[in-house]
Structure 1
Amino acid sequence: MLLTTERLILRRFRASDAPVLSAYRSDPEVARYQSWEAPFPLERAQIAVRNFAAGSPDKAGHFQYAVELAAEETLIGDVYVRLHDNLRQAEIGFTFAGPYQKRGFATEAVSAVLDRLFGRQGLHKVTGECDARNVRSAALMERLGFRREGLLRQQTFLKGEWTDDLLYGLLATEWRGRPEDRPRRPVSPRA
């Protein structure tokens, strides 16, 4: 399973990705609003990569796309999908290495995954959730057409404090209904 965009390859994780995953997840700024603590040891990254590689993007459960910068063949981040048992809904999340943030890569990668989820897989709705202080993640979801559906006050106890969570949702009709408005690059699926 592979998705490609103008600049990116979204693929299954492989064992050789563990050191890079460990490195970017060990960055305190990358980990700030995430569930893991920095540093993210290599041993933990090796286990994570094995688990990521075992998933299927077409079956209910968790799947993590490795996002590679095509020109450099470098892992720059990941996009998470949890496909619900009904195969009609999913949750999405994303993490990108610091040097590859603010360059449109996350928008491009998440757009490719949304194209697959809504187009090829026929999903009805995709949701996203982020720490309310994570304004860049919230902005990315809003740029992609997600609507803010709620605020859960002091919902998550994370790194020693209670945090508020923002809830976002995107319907298939909203994604398909405004392709000319979406900030994305051409996407082509490959088997």
Structure 2
Amino acid sequence: MTKRSEAKYKLDRRMGENVWGRPKSPVNRREYGPGQHGQRRKGKLSDYGVQLRAKQKLKGYYGDISEKQFRAIYTEAIRLRGDSGANLIGLLERRLDAVVYRAKFVPTIFAARQFVNHGHIKVNGRRVNIPSYQVKVGDVIEVKDKSKEMALVLEAVSLGERDVPEYIEADHGKKTAKFLRVPTLTDVPYPVQMEPNLVVEFYSR
């Protein structure tokens, strides 16, 4: 098992939820946390604990973004006008690796980050290898010609466990996707409940 898979499954076990909705998640068999004391860690969380858990879950969902990066996204979210929690979700969903994952060009968010890093993606015809790149409404994201027949891409396109959300228009024949609009929380197909308002509360303590 790769280090990425171990980290991914560990997050599922720690949260006690199938965070990505994957059929192979260990939570499908064991809902308690990892480690020898996992089954006894069901105590009631404090307000701080609930907020921390919400942050860990949201941060982990997007490929376990570094704390520095995640805090920078939060800072940008509260700077923007409107609801900070909604802004936070919008900024996370505008990340290039998130759009590549949502468009079903790769099977996991972890694979999406690596796929972008390795230069397989173009935005509006130009190669972009920065996973945190902020996609704008109307941008066209495409898999490079040489990468379109990669096994990883073909596997992802055929996955039936998730659909492409309505705010992305994907053409799996051409391996292109258009970012139509910035989504709201209810638009995003999270397999589990995300609470960005608690994340905002955590950082504003």
With normalisation by structure 1, the TM-score equals 0.27
Select the structure that is richer in strand.
1
**Bigger radius of gyration, 1 or 2?**
2
Higher helix share: 2
